[in-house]
Amino acid sequence: MGWFSKDIATMDDLFVHTLRDIYYAEHQIKKALPDMIEKATSPELKSGFETHLGETEGHIQRLKQVFKQHGVAEKGVTCPAIDGILKEADEIAGEVDDKQVLDAALIAAAQAVEHYEITRYGTLVAWAKQLGRDDSAALLQQNLDEENATDKKLTKLATGGINRKAA
């Protein structure tokens, strides 16, 4: 089903499609994070990625609850956006030999992922509220809050020394 598919006729259909999009994305991120953890050389960055891996598992569990609350099958739909972001991150990381530059590149890649997730969760929270699903909105808001916190932590790591060391 594409974004402008005939299968999306209502706001509810759009909500479910986007929910399935972020569900797929979270699973892809969960697969990608161990490689990012392995490549990171900064202990703080490595630890941050490990923490976010655990949070990602929590995001998936909350999404499962939203599917259940909504009475729809728990499944993902292919998300070319997250696939592209993760592919680009992997390619860039594979081209960097300097470990300090690699850490800066990993932060940039992780923030591209975070920003994608922030847009999706922000939209889903708004739509859940519009659909009268405050129960789902509350769960999605928890994921959004954690994504925003991770983005801020990554910015702090970058500006707090990693970018300077890479330069």
Output the six-digit token pair for 145.
Answer: 């809050």
Residue 5 identity (one-letter amino acid)? S
Q: State the pLDDT confidence band at 5, using cuts at 50, 70 and 90.
A: low
| Amino acid 24: pLDDT | 97
What number is the average pLDDT over the span 13-23?
Answer: 96
Can you tell me which residue has the tokens 């259940």? 68
Give the whole-angstrom CA distance, residue 137 versus residue 114. Answer: 19
Check pLDDT > 90 for residue 138: yes
The answer to whether 66 and 140 have CB atoms below 8 angstroms apart is yes
Where on the phi/psi map is residue 96: left (φ > 0), alpha (ψ -120 to 50), or beta? Answer: beta
DSSP letter string, 80-118: HHHHHHHHHHHHHHHH--SHHHHHHHHHHHHHHHHHHHH
Give tens-digit pLDDT for 37-68: 999 999 999 999 999 999 999 999 999 999 99
Backbone φ and ψ for 72, nearest 5 degrees, come out as: -125, 160
| Amino acid 2: pLDDT | 47
Residue from 79, 87, 58, 78 nearest 147 by CA: 58
What number is the average pLDDT over the span 111-119?
Answer: 96
The answer to whether 58 and 160 have CB atoms below 8 angstroms apart is no
When computed from its CA atoms, the radius of gyration of the chain, rounded to whole angstroms, is 17
Tell me the whole-structure pTM to 2 decimals.
0.92
